[in-house]
Structure 1
Amino acid sequence: MSRLPHIVSVLLLLLLRRPLLPVSCLHVAADAPLTATVHRQDGGAAWRSFQQLLDARRGSHVTGLAELKRYLARFGYMPGSPEHEPPNDAFDAHMEAAVRRYQSTLSLPVTGQLDSATLDRIMAPRCGVGDNAHDVATSTSSSSVSAPVVSRFTFFNGEPRWTQPDPLVLTFAISPTATVDYLPDETVRAVFRRAFARWARVIPVGFVETDDYDAAAIRVGFYAGSHGDGIPFDGPLGVLGHAFSPKNGRLHLDAAERWAVDMDTETARSAVDLESVATHEIGHVLGLGHSSSPKAVMYPSLSPREKKAELTVDDIEGVQWLYGSNPGFSLSSLYQQDSSMATTGRSSWLAATSSASLVCAVLVILVTRL
């Protein structure tokens, strides 16, 4: 028994020598969502009150369900109530169906109740464009329109897109007046240049910055509250931004957010990555709807401090459906990269899990022999 402390120390040292591999005796997924009861306690008030609805299900009557019904109606999951019949706080069959549609569309477990994963997604900051008022691609790799959409891109109804004689070049401009004072104009412009370049890399469309804001095809600005387009913003950590389908060209961001361009130097817990939202909203400007693939740039929600600006296969397939492929870009290389990363990631996870389980088992045995 005198050797026990030494053995335990050696085992712990072996663990510490593998800092990049997650080790836990309780196997919790690294990307598991925060529980609804602790999410977004860092400031913004939008939708945070929904946390009291945790575990509500058909037959429940909880204060706040009426407001959640308005949320679900706003983003396309249930019809709005007539003026003479305002939403109530009853969790009825229509509410359950709407929750199931929401869960299916956003690739969540379809339970029909407000579990922590569902409420966490509902309370997360998101794009202001609705989720369900879109056409679904009918290629061999997509679902039919009548079936639940899983991990696939969508379009605005009618599949609108920009068209003009070859080559297709769109001008864009950042508003000289609708800005946020803590980000230099040149920093914001650089972010949007990078975001437009991501899309230009995969489709035969060019984007050229111009100083003539009124004449630009795509016009970007930061606005607070009601700003003249009939879709007011709602403050921090609610709707982050919205954009209109082709050929409208308007792209608006909520000036009330704490926008960040470098999370390594940004300290605010409620900060939102500007480049991720810019890349997402440009997708709408080009004609893409929301994707139900959680990894896609065009997925509707983005957590504070999360960075998701790199286009996935799903994003690229969607925009290429509308505009074709850039001759200089090969989608097959991205398929191979994704496949390789998935294989490597699974091998690393299995190795980490095996090591962690072995160490945990040994520790338990040793402790029980004390």
Structure 2
Amino acid sequence: MIMEPKFLHLLSCILLLFLLNPLSLFTHANSPNQLNTQRSSGMDFLKTLIGTQKGTTSKGISQLKKYLSHFGYMNHKNNTILTHQTDDFFDDNLELAIKSYQTFFKLKVNGIMDANIVAKMSHPRCGVPDSFNLNRSHKLYLRIPTLASHYTFFPGEPKWPPTKRSLTYSFPLGGPTNVNSSILHATQIWASVTPFRFSYRTNYDQADIKISFQYRDHGDGYPFDGPGGILAHAFAPSDGRLHFDGDERWVDGVTLGAFDMQTVGLHELGHVLGLGHTNDTGAIMYPYIGDGLRKVLGQDDINGIKALYQF
């Protein structure tokens, strides 16, 4: 069989293109959309739970219980409260936790793992819990939000003392050097609406706010989960620790498939100052943080910090 000249010419062009750039035929594998899909794979178990409800047993429900426990919607460790705290049975406590989650995020409250709640849980977010939990020993847990406002505080409303309005921040030696500008701008934004002033300090150990990139289990009791899922977390005043997940793709600006360091830093600095999460989607303290966007402070954030520090 003899190939047509036109076909041979086309084949030759394809081979020449591949030889000149062997990656050209596979660039789609590194597209931002696919990167973002791969980064969310840690939450893929949620897709198998769509439609599950009280009384059912399904693989992945135990992971769901851990998720809801971590974010303050149920107590995963107390055997006297949760009979089925580690199994795949959908019990009364799980239904109550799901209803609480649906209430906080203004979803349809039905206690069922429907498509809307699965979509919400699948988004990347801050690792600090959202709401009240029976386990008060958890350092990151927040108190339940009041009906009069969206913003929340940590239990006991910890805050920096009145004599401490100048806060220093620093990064450990050997860390990324391209994040300074993003954090500087984030501190300037908070300084513009508060009495606080922020300055960089070279001595990491003596800084008030210690900012670092961490991986997986990094020794503070709240491990990261690799690409996607939890992006960062921070502790209440006056702890000062602020951790970013080093497995994420970080940028300074708006890039699809990557997370803006200034936006996430602004959110986590809110925790460092004492703010909890809000269900106001326009606020920087909203727990879910998308890729490819930059956010600034909302009125709810400003109201919250003013209420906490009474200025």
**The two structures share one fold, judged by TM-score above 0.5:** yes
Q: 2:283 aligns with which of 273, 281, 296?
A: 296
Query: What CA distance in whole angstroms lies between the structure 2 residues aligned with 1:285 and 1:312?
Result: 17
2:226 is paired with a residue of what secondary structure? coil
2:143 alignment counterpart: 135
Equivalent residues of 2:209, 2:241 under 8 A apart:
yes
Residue type of the alignment partner of 1:175: P
2:38 is paired with a residue of what secondary structure? coil
2:45 alignment counterpart: 49
Q: 1:81 to 1:134 in 2, by over 3 A?
A: closer
Aligned: 1:70 with 2:57: no
Aligned: 1:188 with 2:192: no
Residue type of the alignment partner of 1:135: R
Deviation at 1:307, TM superposition (A): 2.6
Query: What CA distance in whole angstroms lies between the structure 2 residues aligned with 1:304 and 1:120?
Result: 15
Residue type of the alignment partner of 2:123: A
Aligned: 1:201 with 2:188: no
Equivalent residues of 1:152, 1:291 under 8 A apart:
yes
Equivalent residues of 2:253, 2:294 under 8 A apart:
no
1:24 alignment counterpart: none
Query: What CA distance in whole angstroms lies between the structure 2 residues aligned with 1:130 and 1:173?
Result: 25
Equivalent residues of 1:50, 1:68 under 8 A apart:
yes
Query: What CA distance in whole angstroms lies between the structure 1 residues aligned with 2:221 and 2:87?
Result: 25
Query: What CA distance in whole angstroms lies between the structure 2 residues aligned with 1:205 and 1:70?
Result: 36
Residues 237-277 of structure 1 show CA distances to partners (whole Å, capped at 9, x for unaligned) of: 111011010001000000000112122xx4xx531121111
Query: What CA distance in whole angstroms lies between the structure 2 residues aligned with 1:242 and 1:164?
Result: 25
Residue type of the alignment partner of 1:222: F
Equivalent residues of 2:284, 2:298 under 8 A apart:
yes
Q: 2:166 aligns with which of 137, 162, 169?
A: 169
2:41 is paired with a residue of what secondary structure? coil
Unaligned stretches of 5+ in structure 2?
Answer: 1-33, 132-140
2:303 alignment counterpart: 317
2:121 alignment counterpart: 122
Unaligned stretches of 5+ in structure 1?
Answer: 1-37, 145-150, 180-184, 326-370
Query: What CA distance in whole angstroms lies between the structure 1 residues aligned with 2:258 and 2:171?
Result: 21
2:11 alignment counterpart: none
Query: What CA distance in whole angstroms lies between the structure 1 residues aligned with 2:277 and 2:160?
Result: 18
Equivalent residues of 2:123, 2:288 under 8 A apart:
yes
Deviation at 1:85, TM superposition (A): 5.5
2:243 is paired with a residue of what secondary structure? strand
Aligned: 1:60 with 2:56: yes
